Chains A and B, each alone.
Chain A
Amino acid sequence: MKNSNFMAYFFLAPALILMGVFVFWPVGFNTYLAFNHYEIAGGAVEWNNFDNFRRIWEEDLFHQAVKNSLLFLLVVPFIQLLSLLIAKLVNNKMPGMTFFRAVYYIPVITAISIAGIVWQFVFKYDGMLNSFLSTIVHLFHIFPQDKVVDIDWLGDPDIAMYSIMIFTLWKGLGYYMVLYLAGLQAIPAEVEEAAILDGANAWERFWKITIPMVKPTILLCTMLSTIGALKVFLEVLVLTDGKAETYTALYYVYDQAFRNYDFGVAAAAGLVVTFFCMILAAIQFRFFGDK
């Protein structure tokens, strides 16, 4: 037993040391930083009670950031419904499905920074999206010929957050599609066949069989994308860099830390975000505890 203990810890040591330094320690240190003023030069630390929290509480930018992060939750139902529908589509036994699955997965394996540059050109004032919409409008004569679509997708504060959501949708659909595909393939074929014999149409089968059978996957994916939406930040960084009032909570954290070098304030804001994510994770565990 003694020997077994030693070997086990010997094998675990590299992982535990690294996680200790880079995963567990940051949690504690971040909490500590949240209550301190940290001087980047020399690393001088000064306890300042709740000053950091008071500062972010009083700052309009943080309010706007939180509001945008909450607004971003709008993307969750869209991304879930669409990726479930796509998964259902590619789960059909028709030729070419492997190809389509791969094509839908391409955005997931594209670096976000690189994808972000292309999408900047899509969203540009004179970019691809406006050109595309203008063509459609001309094609169907919805408006008089001279009227072209000119929407400032990333520059208009009323629109920019929604543009970022479109990007997130594009980037994330394939990821959730694969998860749903796993859920769909666990449904026994007989269940579906029996329903067809009973005369249920495709719509009824979707609501009465598919949805209930993949419910665990739906819960998992919804939680993942809810937490993901609350944590949205890289998308903002690569598309608008916080312009057009697109600050989100974690973007604020990043900005305070690596542009203002105000680590205390960043840590305090980060702690607030962590707290909300923990609450969501707890809800998630409650759901899955029932299973």
Chain B
Amino acid sequence: MFKSKELNRLVTMALQYASLMAFGLFTMFPLLWAVSFGLSSDGSYAYLFPQSFVPHVSGGDGTYSIGTTLVWFERVFVEIPFSTYFKNSVIITTLAVVGTVVISVLAAYPLARMRFAGRNFIFVAIIATLMLPQETALVPNYITIVKLGNFADWLQLTLTGSDAATWKKLIGMNSYLGVVLPGIAGAFGIFLMKQAFEAVPQDLIDAARVDGATEMQILWRVMLPVTTPSIAALAIFTLVNQWNEYIWSSIVMRAKTMQPLAVGVFNDLTGPLSGSQNTLMAAIVLTVIPVLVFFAFTQRFFISGMDGAVK
């Protein structure tokens, strides 16, 4: 028999796990539903409450049994240019991660470790941008990107005499750089790296200086190796955010062939393809899975990076 104290503890624990499970179901159910929906042979069970969370296949004579089919997952690649969107997402995200890390590291180093005129002013100005609603920058940045494209066009015509308008495709509307450039220099990354650089012992830097290292060598050989965890956290953050980013990409990438997953899949599925619901759910699962897998492997860094950004 249990003593009452022990029973009490067990009941508390059972209640805690029950609440944890309940919250878990609340956060997980859309994905579980989409998976089950996508694996079912048609949408007949899709909106019945408990049934729709178990994949069903049709027996062909009006009967259904529990089972799975991958046909809708195959249809995704036929009905929408999924691989193109995927490729765009990979390119855009890679550019954003590399750009953000390089620019944040470069900017954070002097702010953390060098004394120069205007340091405090520059730092405060950068941090102050955290309060700006980024949405109001959409219109000016849109105009800037259009003008950059036109400028590239003019430059190409002037310098090479060609009116092929190929330079425009590098930086104007419907360009990878146009999507990435406005976001890669930001207060968050600079702040995160500044905190990391400030925690490096001064002795390490002094020793390198005595050995005659230049600032660039100190940054590259001394600072970067010891701040790898912060760099990893920043890279992971940027990757997940850029992979999921929707609004700016949807403004710049008007051409279907240039859209990342979050834009292309959304446009296709809310538009002409909204009829085929199983394909739609399969496409959703295929869009979410890469970032989920990535998150599963990196969640330790991801969540501790988040803590670090707050403290």
* Residues of chain A with a CB closer than 8 A to B137's CB: 22-23, 26-27, 30
| Residue pair B269, A117 in contact (C-beta under 8 Å) | yes
A 13-38 contacts with B by CB, 8 A = 14-19, 21-27, 29-30, 33
Q: Which of B16, B215, B261, B284 contacts A117 (CB 8 A)?
A: B284
Of B23, B129, B243, most buried by chain A (CB within 10 Å of CB) is B23
The answer to the question of A140 belonging to the interface, with a C-beta cut-off of 8 Å to chain B, is no
| Cα(A254)–Cα(B102), bound, Å | 32
Distance of A15 Cα from B125 Cα, bound (Å): 12
A90→B23 CA distance, assembly (Å): 11
How many chain-B residues does the 8 Å CB contact rule pick out? 88
A189 contacts the other chain (CB 8 A): no
Within 8 A of B (CB), among A220-264: 220, 227, 231, 233-234, 237-238, 250, 253-254, 257-258, 263
A104 to B240, CA, bound (A): 16
A122, B299: Cβ atoms closer than 8 Å = no
A107-128 vs B, Cβ < 8 Å mask (1 yes, 0 no) = 1011111111111111010111
Q: Does A132 contact B (CB under 8 A)?
A: yes
Expressed in whole angstroms, the Cα–Cα distance for A38 and B284 within the complex equals 39
Determine if A101 is an interface residue (Cβ-Cβ < 8 Å). yes
CB atoms of B114 and A8 under 8 A apart: yes
Say whether chain A's binding surface is mostly helix, strand, loop, or mixed.
helix
Instruction: Name A32's closest neighbour in chain B (CB-CB).
Output: B140
Cα of A4 to Cα of B142 in the assembled complex, Å: 37
Contact assessment for A114 and B265 in the assembled complex, using a CB-CB cutoff below 8 Å: yes
Does B104 have its Cβ within 8 Å of any Cβ on chain A?
Answer: yes
Interface of B is mostly: helix
Q: Once the chains bind, are B136 and A30 in contact (CB under 8 Å)?
A: yes
Taking A92-B16, A111-B246 as contacts, is the C-beta distance between A126 and B266 under 8 angstroms? no
Evaluate contact between A101 and B303: CB separation under 8 angstroms: yes
**Chain B residues with CB below 8 A from A30, complex form:** 136-137, 139-140
Known A-B contacts A15-B103, A116-B266; the reply to A220 vs B244 at CB < 8 A is: no
- Do B26 and A281 touch across chains, with their CB atoms under 8 A apart? no
Interface size class of A (residues with CB under 8 A): 35 or more
CA distance A281 to B291 in the complex (A): 32
Asked whether A263 lies within 8 Å of B139 as measured between CB atoms, the reply is yes
Which of B103, B110, B299 sits near A8, CB closer than 8 Å? B110
Question: In the bound complex, do residue A181 and residue B307 qualify as a contact, i.e. CB atoms below 8 Å apart?
Answer: yes
Whether A47 sits at the interface, judged by CB under 8 Å, is: no
Q: Could you write out 24 A-B pairs with CB less than 8 Å apart?
A: A7-B110, A7-B114, A14-B102, A16-B107, A19-B185, A26-B136, A27-B136, A100-B23, A102-B296, A105-B303, A106-B27, A109-B240, A111-B246, A113-B262, A113-B263, A114-B261, A114-B288, A124-B47, A128-B49, A131-B48, A134-B49, A170-B26, A231-B133, A273-B133
Closest 9 CB pairs of A and B: A15-B107, A26-B140, A18-B185, A113-B266, A111-B244, A8-B110, A270-B136, A26-B137, A8-B116
